[in-house]
Amino acid sequence: MIEIINLHKKFGKLTVLDGLDLKIKKGGIFAILGPNGSGKTTLIKCLLGMVIPDRGDILLEGKSVLHAAAYRNNINYLPQIANFPSNLTVTELINMVKNLRPKPADEKPLVELFGLRPFLKKKLGNLSGGTKQKVNLLLTFMFDSDLIILDEPTTGLDPIALIHLKETIQQEKEKGKTILITTHIMSFVDEMADEIVFLLDGKIYFKGSVQQLKEQTHESNLEYAIAHLISKQDA
Amino acid sequence: MLKILKYSIYDLLRSRWSYIYFIFYLILGFVLLFLNTDIDKAIITLLNIIIVLTPLIGTIFGVMYYYNSREFTELLLAQPIKRKNIFLGQYIGVSLSLSLSLLIGLGIPFVLYGLFKSASIFDFVLLIVVGTFLNFIFVALAYNIALRTENKIKGFGFAILMWLMFAVIYDGVFMISLFIFNEYPLDKFALIATMFNPIDLSRILILLKLDISALLGYTGAVFQKFFGTSFGLLISLSVLTLWVLLPVWSIMHISGKKDF
Amino acid sequence: MRAFPLFFFLLCVVPALWGNHITVCPSCHIHSIQAAVDQARPHDTVFVMQGTYIESPIRILKPLHLIGQMNPTLDGGGKKQSIFAVQTDSFSIDGFHFTNVGLSYTSEIAAIFVANSKHFTLSNNQMDHVFYGIILQHVKYGHLLHNTVEGKAIDETSSGNGIHIWKASHIHVEDNHISGMRDGIYFEFVNKSKILRNTSQNNVRYGLHFMFSNHDEYHHNEFRNNGAGVAVMFSKFIKMHHNIFHYNWGTASYGLLLKEINDADIKWNHFVQNTIGINIDGCNRITYENNDFVRNGWALRFTGGCYTNVFKNNNFMYNAFDLSYNSRVNNNLFNSNYWSEYNGYDLDKDGVGDVPYRPVKLFSYIVNKTPETLVLLRSLFVDIINFSEKVSPVFTPDQLVDKSPLLKPVPIPPTPNKM
């Protein structure tokens, strides 16, 4: 489904992606992991066309996404930081995003699921971080798209919301969606991910299932396995 | 793009700055006419204000809107919308809402004071047209600066510097160079030099329609010949259009390459 | 003073009442004016009835009174001849319509050409399509009253003057309307004469052109939209009162050009919307009082050495420049004028500003040095340098200061021109 070929990106002198190659097949949950600054968000933003790569290509269903726009209609993206225009109300924001995307959306079950009804008429600037993240999730999941990209989806969520999030992700997976997740919460990965993509120094350092990773590193705990991967690099 | 434009204008209509700007022009129009009751003289005073203030406010608004709507922009970037449409929509939204404030804010007092019966209607229309041009030009320039500058404070600084450059420094250098080279025939040089500063061009365009052409004619026939004819008006308006199109093209170019 | 012209008029016209009458009309026994003139004895009156008379020249060499009844038309037929060629004393011509006087590049021809005459009156005549309107040469004690000269002049070389007077004295030019000629009124070597209540407008060159003429006065005239305004040159003891100079708006145009004028008196005039209100070139001992300078490019522009002139109680309002000069300007006194750009204060409430006003701005100094800098007029930069010069004067001269600027404009009555 997604094919990333020899992707290079520098910000000034800092090399973030250094000839990254990656293939992700359709269906399933993929966790993109890596230490801080390893290029996870940059990779995602390249995929979304928000960051323009210096070299390389990204193919989605066999078609290059560089300098295109329409393909984004088939991607639901959850940004890392829930920044919204602060003088809009939640309802206005939902309507606006719906208006901007030429496809049907159903926000009502999600409003109920995350308990957002009391906040619909409030301005986004007045909401707490957690509530904003719920709105963020709602905007992401209200569309029916084949590819779902979640950048740190768990930030600021209370345990109940977290459970609802996990349920939602599972439901989407069952519908045959491809889901990319970046996170630092290893338990979340352990529980959800079908496959792990580990980024280091702008390259894919490991790609495989959770089980494969544990076997390769001889660690039974995923957190330790990841730590092992990082330390081995340093040594 | 129209959707973005719609949301930008909608967003700006909710911001109190648009109203402050609108009310400022409204009060200015009434005060000028109330103090003078002479439309011609009010238009000259207005000229002084418009050529200084519209660029300044366009610059500040442009930079401010860009930095304030970053979140909105990032939200939009993840949507299936072309980048250039996002920025073009925002840019036109800001410029248009500023121009509307100018038109309506000044229009109301002038119409109430009998603009349509006055011979000055052409001067007034020219003033609004030039003010609109200056809005579009300086918002575009400000957007260029903001797109290139991540740091908000730096961006504001550069934008104000840019305004200062066109409003004051350019004229200072212009005057000094006229002064130094006054042995040579200078009218062609002066004519070309005004083309490179939209504020100068706008100012002279209005001054000539306000009959100061006779004073400029004093410096030599080139000016009067050029600006006094409809050919000159056409060229001047084309150059002003170019002053809009070039920065807009640059906005599209930079935004196409920028990472968010 | 008003009785004098009337008396003079009677002196000329009353004898007509006891002289013989001769009537001319197209269907009469006498149908040519020249024939009537030839038949008439001195001091007779010739009545010309309504109709068109294609005659020129009509030579008048004896004292006669010609009176047009119901505006008869005298058609010059486009010939290079004046219609009336007069060379006699004590005559009058009243109530005619003149047209079709041919154009000549070599000689001066006019509707009425008067030479070597005394005591005459030309009144109530209308002239159009004439090369010159009225030419007077070597004359004294003449009256030109209520005449209208209208031309459609395009350039200076192919047009003549409305009223052209050369070598004369004691001439009254009153209530005439001249438009579209080369010079409206032309005076050369004319002394002790008066120009009153005339309107001179849309002339290609000057509304009034005045040279080598002394002890004259002109007042209550209107000079409007003339190619170069009004020129008064090389003359002494001239009084200019209650005139309006306006809309003389063009590349080299001014309300009033004064060149080499001494001991003149300029009071109660209005200078409105001229490129230059008064251009003053080498003029000394002139008093300027109670004049209105409104919305001119330059209100006053000195272009030559000018000494001991007095400017008092004038209004300078909304001019692009109040004052500019490019040579030595000494011993000129500016006192108690109103300047619309003055923004000082008056703590003792005596109507006089407590801070002196400097009418010369830095920018006007710069424009004098380099005229092209005028393109920066009304720019922010110019406002800034003018302000800084005002705060600490460096370039503008110390002596050009109004020490007691007025806070309110001097009331100057509008000039009643139509009387």
B250: domain range?
2-257
Per-residue pLDDT, averaged over A106-112, amounts to 88
Q: How confident is the model at residue C1 (pLDDT cuts 50, 70, 90)?
A: very low
What mean pLDDT value characterizes chain A?
Answer: 86
Hey, which chains touch C, using 3+ CB pairs under 8 Å?
Answer: B
Distance from C-alpha of A139 to C-alpha of A165, rounded to nearest angstrom: 13
SS3 of C287, please?
Answer: strand
CB proximity B190 to C under 8 Å: yes
Chain-chain contact of A52 with B83 (C-beta, under 8 angstroms)? no
Q: State the CB neighbour count (10 A cutoff) for residue C415.
A: 18
Classify the complex by whether its ipTM is higher than 0.95, answering yes or no.
no
Q: Are C172 and C193 in contact (CB under 8 A)?
A: yes
- C107-124 pLDDT, tens digit per residue, is 889 999 999 999 999 999
| pLDDT (0 to 100) of residue B15 | 76
| pLDDT (0 to 100) of residue A233 | 59
Chain-chain contact of B168 with C384 (C-beta, under 8 angstroms)? yes
The DSSP code for A89 is: B
Distance from C-alpha of C311 to C-alpha of C299, rounded to nearest angstrom: 12
Q: How confident is the model at residue C99 (pLDDT cuts 50, 70, 90)?
A: very high
| pLDDT (0 to 100) of residue A235 | 46
Distance from C-alpha of C349 to C-alpha of C29, rounded to nearest angstrom: 80
Residue B126: both structure tokens together: 């020219």
φ/ψ of A19, rounded to 5, equals 70, 50
| pLDDT (0 to 100) of residue B139 | 95
Q: Which of C358, C302, C360, C306 is nearest to C326 (CA)?
A: C302
Chain-chain contact of C372 with B182 (C-beta, under 8 angstroms)? yes
Residue B117: both structure tokens together: 């019966």
SS3 of C157, please?
Answer: coil
In order, the DSSP letters of C224-263 are ES-SSEEEEES-BS-EEES-EEE---STT-EEEEEES-BS
Residues of B in contact with C375 (CB under 8 A): 190, 194, 200, 204, 216, 219, 223
| pLDDT (0 to 100) of residue C378 | 85
Statement: residue C418 has pLDDT above 50: no
**B128 to chain C, closest Cα gap in Å:** 18
* Contact: chain A with chain B (3+ CB pairs below 8 Å): yes
Domain limits of chain A?
A: 2-234
**Nearest CB to C251 within list B169, B179, B214:** B214
Statement: residue C5 has pLDDT above 70: no
Chain-chain contact of B216 with C275 (C-beta, under 8 angstroms)? no
Q: How confident is the model at residue A200 (pLDDT cuts 50, 70, 90)?
A: confident
**B105 to chain A, closest Cα gap in Å:** 25
- C350-380 pLDDT, tens digit per residue, is 889 998 998 888 888 888 888 888 888 888 9
Closest chain C residue to B193 measured between Cα atoms? C375
Statement: residue B83 has pLDDT above 90: no
| pLDDT (0 to 100) of residue C53 | 93
> Tokens 């005057």 belong to which residue?
B175
**B85 to chain C, closest Cα gap in Å:** 36
Buried b / exposed e across C50-64, counting CB within 10 Å, b at 16+? ebebebbbbebebbb
Share of chain C above pLDDT 90, in %: 57
Q: Is C1-213 in CATH node 3.10.129.10?
A: no
> How does strand A14-24 pair with strand A2-11?
antiparallel
φ/ψ of C273, rounded to 5, equals 50, 55
> How does strand C45-48 pair with strand C65-68?
parallel
Residues of B in contact with C384 (CB under 8 A): 168
Chain-chain contact of B174 with C252 (C-beta, under 8 angstroms)? no
- B141-189 pLDDT, tens digit per residue, is 999 999 999 899 999 999 999 999 999 999 999 999 988 887 887 778 8
Distance from C-alpha of B85 to C-alpha of B6, rounded to nearest angstrom: 12
Distance from C-alpha of A163 to C-alpha of C173, rounded to nearest angstrom: 108
> Tokens 């997604």 belong to which residue?
A2
Per-residue pLDDT, averaged over A18-42, amounts to 87
Statement: residue C72 has pLDDT above 90: yes
User: How many domains in chain B?
Assistant: 1
CB proximity B96 to C under 8 Å: no
Q: Across-strand partners of C279?
A: C257, C301
Region A2-234: CATH code: 3.40.50.300
Which positions in chain A have a beta carbon within 8 angstroms of at least one beta carbon in chain B? Answer: 11, 45, 48-52, 67, 69-73, 75, 77, 79, 83-88, 96-97, 99-102
- B10-25 pLDDT, tens digit per residue, is 777 777 788 888 999 8
| pLDDT (0 to 100) of residue B219 | 60
**C362 to chain B, closest Cα gap in Å:** 13
